Structure 1
Amino acid sequence: MKIGIPKEIKTKEYRVGIIPSGVRVLVESGHEVYIEKDAGEKSGFSNNDYKEAGATILQSPKELYDTCEMILKVKEPQHREYDLLKAGQILFTYLHLAPHRELTEILKEKKVTAIAYETIQEGTRVPLLEPMSQIAGKMAPMVAGYFLSAHTNGMGVLIGGTSGVLPAKVLIIGSGTVARNAAKIASGMGADVIVMGRNPNSMREIEALLPENVSTLYSNRYNIEKILPTVDIVIGAVYNTGEKAPHLITREMLSLCKKGAVLVDVAIDQGGCIETSRPTTHDDPVFEVGGVIHYCVANMPGDYPVTSTHALANATLPYVKKIADMGWQTASLQDSAVYGGVNVAGGFVTEEAVAKAHQMEYRELKSIMDNCPGFGGTA
């Protein structure tokens, strides 16, 4: 299979979809790998690193999209990439389609086979989301602590306090991978941390593994409303596979927050779990609503590309190889995780949560496979 890795063009997105060791694995398996010029530069990889691993360097995204059967990315296609997509082409990347109707319509119209990292699921795990969730979780208290400073219009509270002065209080909504990593870092910085979740097993695990300045509380509206007036930082860490994030903090509830408090909505890729959230960028990361600071950068790990590219590429490679070796249809029939990753195929939405979010027709993937290009075998 001809596999192409374009340079990411989302604002301040420095990650790349593959590392040289992954190129070598694919080339040794008989595949052709094409990399857009300078795609890996910010992640620490030169064009020569990729060439030595067996890749071909292409000068433009158009040349790459025209050449390749599978496009391997990090973030969802941006507007100027829409016209480059081709019918039957495999797009393997983070898609987060539930809050993105226009992109969903484009993928349907183009009859792209769109496979989303975030809906590939192994049992209860989402293995391609986990490494970036770990990084975003670890980043969240760091960025919140920075924007809590007075010169950014924050409260002027130091997250870890100091001798004779109480530390900041941090509320984390969710008890999954983002929440655990956020709690680990926030507690290590000396904050008083409350993790609110609904999974008793996750909360027991957090209590067992993290220090005594981390406590847990069952998540419901009543408890959130009681806690909000007391906290300095809120980290939204909610994810339901493929679904649009629920608004656990409403616009009305925002009035309960302290002026100058910082809200970090890590769920913004799925639409955000705070009603007043909207996507921001690393160039312009925060905005205020009612005197409350919102940080809603939709590609947080992109700011640490050397770490995050390695973590992501190591996780995705086995799936990339399986799809390339077998073709996407055979791979999806043999591996339920790959099957669950297919969000759009043959002009239809095949991820029920996405169809529900946009009130679009949902088709079970197996029912349309016979009408899609490249059924069975390798491509």
Structure 2
Amino acid sequence: MVIGVPKEIKDHEYRVSLTPDGASALHKAGHTIWVEPSAGAGSGFTDDEYRQAGATIASSKAEVFERAGLIVKVKEPLLSECSLFRPGQVLFTYLHLASLPELTKTLLDTKITAIAYETTVARDGSLPMLRPMSEIAGRMSVQVGAHYLEKLQGGRGVLLAGVPGVEPGNVVILGAGVVGASATRIAVGLGAQVTVINLDVDRLRYLDDLYQGRIVTRAVSEAAVEQAVCAADLVIGAVLIPGAKAPRLVSRAMVARMKPGAVVVDVSVDQGGCFETTKATTHSDPVYLVDGVLHYGVANMPGIVPRTSTFALTNATFPYLLRLASEGVDRAIQSDPGFAKGVNLKNGQITCAEVADAHGLPFTPIL
């Protein structure tokens, strides 16, 4: 298999989809790797390291796409990259298509096979390639929120940890999955008051046992969400329905009742966000105000800690990449129904029900 590694071009995206060690393993397995110049520079990998691993450094992004049958990326392609695809190519990356109608339709027209990290399911029912970036984004969400709570950044001027004689900041986390649990860990470690709201009470029971009274847990309801959000200094959106758009748990009316200078970090922005007021932002322009509440909606948060993120991501993606390269798409998904769930598009058809439902388009089962 000929595998292409383009340089990521999303705003301040410094991750790379394949490390030199990964390239070496693929090369030893008999595969050919083409890497765009400087693709790994943001994560600290030089072109020479890829050459020494057996990869070839292409002359341009266009040559990578021209040579490769399998394109492996970190983030979804931008529209400017889509013209480089050709029918029959395979794309392996994070896609989050449920919130991207224009990209979905453009990729359908290319007639490629698009396999999403975030909808691939392991045998135990987990999301193995989504988990590492969710862990990083969850940890970062509290760090980012604490930064924007500073008065200089437009926030309330609240220190999440508090000090003796002054109560700590109030953090509300919507969702108790990987992102929510990771955010909870950091918020509790800082000494904040933490409330976690979730649909699955068993998950809340687990966190309650883990933190032994250091957090408040609440089952999700409109009243519970409104009460908690309106009292919060920092709210973290950590809601996920795999492959589908995130449910809108917080209305514009609730946001209007939040404290002036409160901060929202909506990690579920990749899937459209769980706040009615959420819109995607970039690292270059990360925040905006709605009714005096600061919103952070960067969709590639882990991209600014690329050294950690690239290793964490490729640890999870490489076994699947090696199977794709060695077996091809059809054999790989036939032997693993969970891997088949990662196939979102194939030959101009939508093969992920949640993506089809999000855009009102026909769904074609892959198996």
* Interval containing the TM-score (normalised by the shorter chain): over 0.9
* Aligned mates of 1:98, 1:235 — CA distance in 2: 21
Residues of 1 paired with 2:290 and 2:256: CA distance? 10
Give the corresponding residue for 1:216. Answer: 217
Residue in structure 2 matched with residue 319 of structure 1 by the alignment? 320
1:283 aligned counterpart, secondary structure = coil
Asked if the contact 2:136/2:309 (under 8 Å) is kept, the reply is: yes
- 1:209 is displaced (CA, Å) by 2.2
Q: Secondary structure at the match of 2:97?
A: coil
**1-structure distance, mates of 2:37, 2:71:** 15
Moved more, 214-223 or 277-286: 214-223
1:192-231 aligned at under 5 Å gives the runs 192-210=193-211, 212-231=213-232
Instruction: Assess if the C-alpha contact under 8 Å between 2:266 and 2:278 holds in 1.
Output: yes
Structure 1 ranges of 4+ moved more than 2 A: 208-213
Shift of 1:80: 1.2
Q: Distance in 2 between matches of 1:343 and 1:265?
A: 24
Q: Deviations over 1:183-207 (max 9, x none)?
A: 0001111100011111122212212
- In structure 2, the residue matched to 1:242 is 243
* Deviations 1:199-236 (CA, angstroms, capped at 9, x unpaired): 12221221222364222111111101121221100000
1:20 matches 2:16:
no
| Mapping of residues 65-214 of structure 1, within 5 Å | 65-122=65-122, 123-210=124-211, 212-214=213-215
The AA in structure 2 aligned to 1:47 is D
Which residue does 1:29 correspond to in 2? 29
Matched AA of 1:133: S
Q: Structure 2: which amino acid aligns with 1:141?
A: V
* Structure 2: distance between partners of 1:327 and 1:293: 46
Counterpart Cα distance in 2 of 1:65 and 1:167: 52
Q: In the alignment, is the contact (CA less than 8 A) between 2:34 and 2:57 conserved in 1?
A: yes
- What secondary structure is seen at the aligned counterpart in 1 of 2:35? strand
Give secondary structure in 1 for the equivalent of 2:341.
helix
**CA–CA separation in structure 2 for the residues paired with 1:247 and 1:347:** 30
Q: Provide, for residues 316-347 of structure 1, a one-character-per-residue CA deviation record: whole Å limited to 9, x for no partner.
A: 00000111111001101111121000000011
For residues 202 and 34 of structure 2, what CA distance do their matches in structure 1 show?
Answer: 44
Q: Which moved more, 1:250-259 or 1:57-66?
A: 250-259
The Cα of 1:350 is off from its aligned counterpart by: 0.3
Residue matched to 2:255? 254
Q: Does the 8 A contact of 2:43 with 2:310 survive in 1?
A: yes
Letter aligned with residue 46 of structure 2 = S
Secondary structure of the structure 1 residue equivalent to 2:250? coil
Structure-1 separation of matches of 2:150 and 2:86: 47
Deviations, residues 126-165 of structure 1 (Å, cap 9, x unaligned):
0000000000000001010010011111101111111100
**Alignment partners' CA distance in 2, 1:164 and 1:213:** 18
- One-letter amino acid of the structure 1 residue matched with residue 303 of structure 2: G
Q: Distance in 2 between matches of 1:49 and 1:214?
A: 46
Kindly indicate whether the alpha-carbon contact (under 8 Å) linking 1:187 and 1:211 is maintained by their aligned counterparts in 2. Answer: no
Query: What percentage of residue pairs aligned between the two structures are identical?
Result: 45
Distance, in Å, in 2 between the alignment partners of 1:230 and 1:246 is 21
Partners of 2:214 and 2:161 lie apart in 1 by 11
Shift of 1:252: 1.6
Q: Which amino acid aligns with 1:87?
A: P
> Could you tell me which amino acid in structure 1 is paired with residue 8 of structure 2?
E
Does the aligned pair in 1 maintain the 2:7–2:16 contact within 8 Å? yes
CA RMSD of aligned residues (A): 0.9
Counterpart mapping for 1:280-291 below 5 A: 280-291=281-292
Q: Does 1:10 align with 2:10?
A: yes
- The corresponding residue for 2:355 is 354
Task: Decide whether the 8 Å contact of 1:112 with 1:344 is kept in 2.
Answer: yes
* Unaligned ranges ≥5, structure 1: 367-379
Question: After superposition, where does 1:288-307 map in structure 2 within 5 Å?
Answer: 288-307=289-308
Instruction: Report the secondary structure of 1:229's partner residue.
Output: helix
CA distance in 2, matches of 1:335, 1:236: 32
The aligned amino acid for 2:277 is: T
TM norm structure 2: 0.98
Match of 2:83, SS? helix
